[in-house]
């Protein structure tokens, strides 16, 4: 049984959700981490972002999340309107799971998700399926500071999928997860098309190949290549990135 069925719109007719043109970001002015990155995200698609260490994946996701101030962008359009990454309406429509996150350590998972839902002005759906799927039953009422790296990642992933924002940004979502949770995550990403768009970064080719409608290759702060449909094959992408840095 193929559990990773894609339901993409290969014709590319989907309405554009996010358009960014010539986005550059830097920590020190002399060295740009992102240089003139342009990107279009359609509604209800899954886009994988792959690149070697230091390519700028995390910086890209942090910039879109509104956490960095040192950037410039020529055009930024959200749902057909110009916007800034810190606009309330945009913040209300996206949620980010970071590769490393140790926030709200003195909340339990239930308290955290309740607080996050209130911040997004959303009523929480039934969480039992997500909690069971990620094997998180034993940890829902434990302080986040007492959770292991993998369980902490699960807490934020459950929150992300439960809130169902229009745009889900996932930075290295597979890192730290056990085998079963990883498979469940792939199913969730694939199934998310009915709620919105997922943009996720990864070092793991498997995660990209099994879920993405499009794959963007980020190299030295630029999107150097993109793969769609049948082009999304591990061997092809590995050729572009070099064999030694990618796990499969």
- Residue 102 binding other proteins, by CB under 8 A: yes
- Residue 101 binding other proteins, by CB under 8 A: yes
Of the two residues 44 and 96, which places its CB atom closer to other proteins in the complex? 96
**199 burial via Cβ count (<10 Å: 0-12, 13-18, 19+):** buried
- Residue 3 binding other proteins, by CB under 8 A: no
Angle at 97 between CA 165 and CA 186, to 5 degrees: 80
Which range, of 18-26, 73-81, 134-142, 189-197, touches other proteins by CB under 8 A? 134-142
**HSE value, Cβ hemisphere, 13 Å, CA-based, for 187:** 14
Angle at 20 between CA 17 and CA 24, to 5 degrees: 150
Site for other proteins in 18-77 (CB under 8 A): 65-67
Of the two residues 22 and 114, which places its CB atom closer to other proteins in the complex? 114
Number of residues that bind other proteins (CB under 8 A): 33
State how beta strands 16-28 and 71-78 pair: antiparallel
For other proteins, which residue of 114, 180, 226, 233 counts as binding (CB under 8 A)? 114
- Residue 202 binding other proteins, by CB under 8 A: no
For other proteins, which residue of 24, 59, 108, 197 counts as binding (CB under 8 A)? 108
Taking each helix axis from N to C end, the angle separating 109-120 and 149-163, rounded to the nearest 10 degrees, works out to 30
Minimum distance from residue 230 beta carbon to other proteins (Å): 36
- Residue 119 binding other proteins, by CB under 8 A: yes
Minimum distance from residue 94 beta carbon to other proteins (Å): 9
For other proteins, which residue of 12, 19, 70, 107 counts as binding (CB under 8 A)? 107
**156 burial via Cβ count (<10 Å: 0-12, 13-18, 19+):** buried
Name, in order, each residue with C-beta under 8 angstroms of 68's C-beta and a sequence gap of 6 or more.
25, 59, 62
List the structure tokens of 141: 């009422």
| Interface with other proteins (CB under 8 A) | 65-67, 88, 91-92, 96, 98, 101-108, 110-116, 118-121, 138-139, 141-143, 146
């Amino acid at each position: 049984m193929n559990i990773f069925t894609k339901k993409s719109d290969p014709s590319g007719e989907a309405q554009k959700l996010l358009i960014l043109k010539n986005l550059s970001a830097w920590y020190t002015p002399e060295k740009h981490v992102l240089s003139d990155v342009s990107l279009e995200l359609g509604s209800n698609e899954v886009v994988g972002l792959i690149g070697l260490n230091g390519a700028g994946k995390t910086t890209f996701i942090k910039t879109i999340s509104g956490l960095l101030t040192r950037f410039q962008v020529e055009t930024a359009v959200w749902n057909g309107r110009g916007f800034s990454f810190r606009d309330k309406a945009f913040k209300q429509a996206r949620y980010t799971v970071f590769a490393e996150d140790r926030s709200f350590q003195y909340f339990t998972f239930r308290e955290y998700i309740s607080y996050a839902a209130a911040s997004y002005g959303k009523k929480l759906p039934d969480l039992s399926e997500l909690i069971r799927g990620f094997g998180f039953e034993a940890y829902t009422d434990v302080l986040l500071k007492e959770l292991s790296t993998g369980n902490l990642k699960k807490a934020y992933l459950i929150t992300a999928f439960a809130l169902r924002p229009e745009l889900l940004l996932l930075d290295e979502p597979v890192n730290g997860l056990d085998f079963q949770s990883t498979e469940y995550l792939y199913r969730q990403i694939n199934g998310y098309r009915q709620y919105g768009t997922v943009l996720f970064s990864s070092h793991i080719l498997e995660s990209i190949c099994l879920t993405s409608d499009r794959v963007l290759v980020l190299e030295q702060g630029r999107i150097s290549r993109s793969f769609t449909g049948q082009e999304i094959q591990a061997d092809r992408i590995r050729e572009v990135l070099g064999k030694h840095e990618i796990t499969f």
